[in-house]
Chains A and B, each alone.
Chain A
């Protein structure tokens, strides 16, 4: 089976949204209607219960080396966003029902027949990926096409991508490919290029992402957090505080009873 994932190279994304359509069609996700968001060419807005791929369109007032446009100080950034299938997944570690599991492909999967809609994964995801649909009551997100992977097929988005901006494969192969690509871009003068969330060294808070990205600007520009952390990493200190509070509360209760007794004489 091995570790599977996505490498999304944003430098070759042309913003065609074929991944969004392929994802919707294959997974038979409900329609979102036609609404005008008023921001660039992005009418999808964000990932959600019925949107498992989302193409972000960033218009920058900065030129791109090697790219000439009619406007002097302008360049496009496009990125197909998706669930990151983190090595340490906030949603999985928060799920109290065991609905969220790690599959044999090392991906993170929500079992719809188990999820009871507690909403904890929604708040626990540092990337704002998981979403609970109000009509449905359950949490939904990208499955990394769990049903296709089982049949040895490529996920629908990667299959549909016309420029190989979305590449699916074994994580080791993807890492090698991504590093080679960054080197090639650096050689061409695009020194801003870097890999976001490739491994634990790059992103200690998540232990690395199975769906990682090649970006050209700060993560915030793509609506990605600059230093995401699986909330569970900070839980030890919180539980220590609970233990201290428990000690205090026990002392207060016993002390109150003892004091009351003393008063009585």
Chain B
């Protein structure tokens, strides 16, 4: 696979791409260095900057290294925010399914069964989306090679794998009598128990990074994701064909989610707004537009829900709006995080304001021995 030739590419660039520069003749030497097995299709480019007047000299208040990013941008692709939605819905649906099974009795058996279906399908789709994102998809089983409690991704891999297995088991034997039925119902309980962390751990996964925007939300984002997952799960189940007597159950579930979503969204925004440079991507550009769209859809979805007389058309519109809002919110936070990782000031200013390690350890000086505050006094 060769990259199409870029318009500004010179003959030198083309010739360079023909070789990886290691210049080791296999008949004369061996490729055994630590980086020798690194596959090369195209040469990596240095992160060039546009020379801009006095840009090379440091502005006094906000120093940086030629404005280059201080951290690496996450390499994840769109299948990750898609998973944030799908996995969240699968988790919340498993929880509702078990609640229906546990106290709903025979009357809600249909809902419980449908929840197991949705949960299973969601788990399978989630696994596919995550494997697609891997740099080496054929090694996806390495995710279950160890269990690392410090890694939300390790915890999440195990939760997702087990949840998928439990939901599948519940689907296969949950409706039977005798001991297979007991096993199936126990599996349903397991899937519900795992559905709780499944709908929220993804937020911990994002906030447990150096990405300034995501890290700044480390207290509120899990609550927002779980509230939004509840609303989205209730809306999806309401959009699927269901008997009339289930409607009050679904309505109560999704309204609880929608109200909590509005409240936790405010908390998320407040957390991000502590540092203006960090919160900027949530207001500007494509991620900002997505975030605003998500807010509008969530508000509209909640308002339509509270209308005194609701036709089936209005109900459908409310459910669609809430689902769109949940998807848009995840894409907005995902891409806004990427934008914030490219801005060195988002990293630096947050840490100078005491939102780096000082937020946990409470120390008062930065690594250069200067007191934590921003901007620093300029000494000439």
Contact = CB atoms under 8 A, between A and B. Distances in A.
Chains A and B bind each other? yes
Nearest to A207: B357
Nearest to B105: A261
A112 B367 CA distance: 32
A31 B20 contact: yes
B209 A39 contact: no
B218 A259 contact: no
Contacts of A197: 367
B143 A97 contact: yes
In this complex, the member of B43, B341, B368 whose beta carbon has the largest number of chain A beta carbons within 10 angstroms is B368
A118 B134 contact: yes
Contacts of B46: 32, 35, 37, 43-46
A43 B33 CA distance: 24
Nearest to A230: B357
A18 B145 CA distance: 39
A116 B139 contact: yes
A218 B360 CA distance: 22
Contacts of A162: none
A229 B359 contact: yes
Contact of B65 (A204, A221, A241): A221
A238 B222 contact: yes
Interface in B95-128: 95-96, 98-100, 102-104, 107-108
B222 A241 contact: yes
B127 to A, nearest CB: 13
A223 B43 contact: no
Contacts of B347: 225
A151 interface: no
A119 interface: yes
A253 B95 contact: yes
Contacts of B367: 196-197, 202-203, 219, 224-228
A235 interface: yes
A132 B34 CA distance: 15
Nearest to A139: B135
Contacts of A112: 37-38
Contacts of A31: 16, 19-22, 43
B153 A215 contact: no
Interface stretch (B164-172, B249-257, B299-307): B249-257
B69 A257 contact: no
Interface stretch (B49-57, B273-281, B312-320): B49-57
Nearest to B222: A241
A1 to B, nearest CB: 18
Contact of B136 (A96, A116, A259): A116
A166 interface: no
Nearest to B93: A253
A249 B356 contact: no
Contacts of B358: 227
A78 interface: no
A152 interface: no
Interface string A40-84: 101111101111100010111100000000000000000000000
A147 B361 contact: no
A239 B149 CA distance: 11
A6 interface: no
Interface stretch (A7-15, A122-130, A171-179): A122-130
B324 to A, nearest CB: 21
B223 A124 contact: no
A124 B208 contact: yes
A40 B56 contact: yes
Chain B interface size range: 35 or more
Contacts of B356: 205, 225-229
A123 B74 contact: yes
A132 B75 contact: yes
B218 A204 contact: no
A90 interface: yes
A98 interface: yes
Contacts of B71: 125-128, 225
A221 B51 contact: no
A146 B145 CA distance: 23
B103 A33 contact: no
B92 interface: yes
Contacts of A153: none
A116 B20 contact: no
A132 B76 CA distance: 10
A188 interface: no
Interface of B: 12-13, 16-17, 19-22, 24, 31-51, 56-58, 63-66, 68-72, 74-76, 92, 95-96, 98-100, 102-104, 107-108, 133-137, 139-140, 142-143, 145-146, 148, 150-154, 157, 196-197, 199-201, 203-205, 207-211, 215, 218-223, 225-227, 229-230, 234, 245-246, 248-253, 256-257, 260, 341, 344, 347-348, 351-352, 354, 356-361, 363, 366-370, 372, 376
25 contacts: A26-B33, A27-B34, A28-B22, A38-B49, A44-B46, A96-B151, A96-B153, A112-B38, A115-B135, A116-B134, A126-B210, A128-B69, A133-B40, A135-B41, A203-B357, A225-B71, A226-B352, A227-B356, A228-B351, A244-B223, A245-B196, A249-B226, A253-B92, A257-B104, A263-B248
The 7 closest A-B CB pairs, nearest first, are A117-B135, A31-B21, A205-B357, A137-B135, A28-B33, A260-B249, A227-B356
Given A27-B34, A122-B74, A248-B260, 20 more contacts: A27-B35, A29-B35, A30-B40, A33-B45, A42-B66, A97-B139, A99-B142, A115-B136, A128-B71, A135-B40, A135-B42, A226-B348, A227-B366, A235-B218, A238-B208, A238-B221, A245-B223, A253-B99, A254-B103, A256-B99
Interface of A: 26-40, 42-46, 48-52, 56, 58-61, 90, 93-99, 112, 114-120, 122-140, 143, 145-147, 194, 196-197, 202-206, 215, 217-229, 231-235, 237-239, 241-242, 244-246, 248-250, 252-261, 263-264
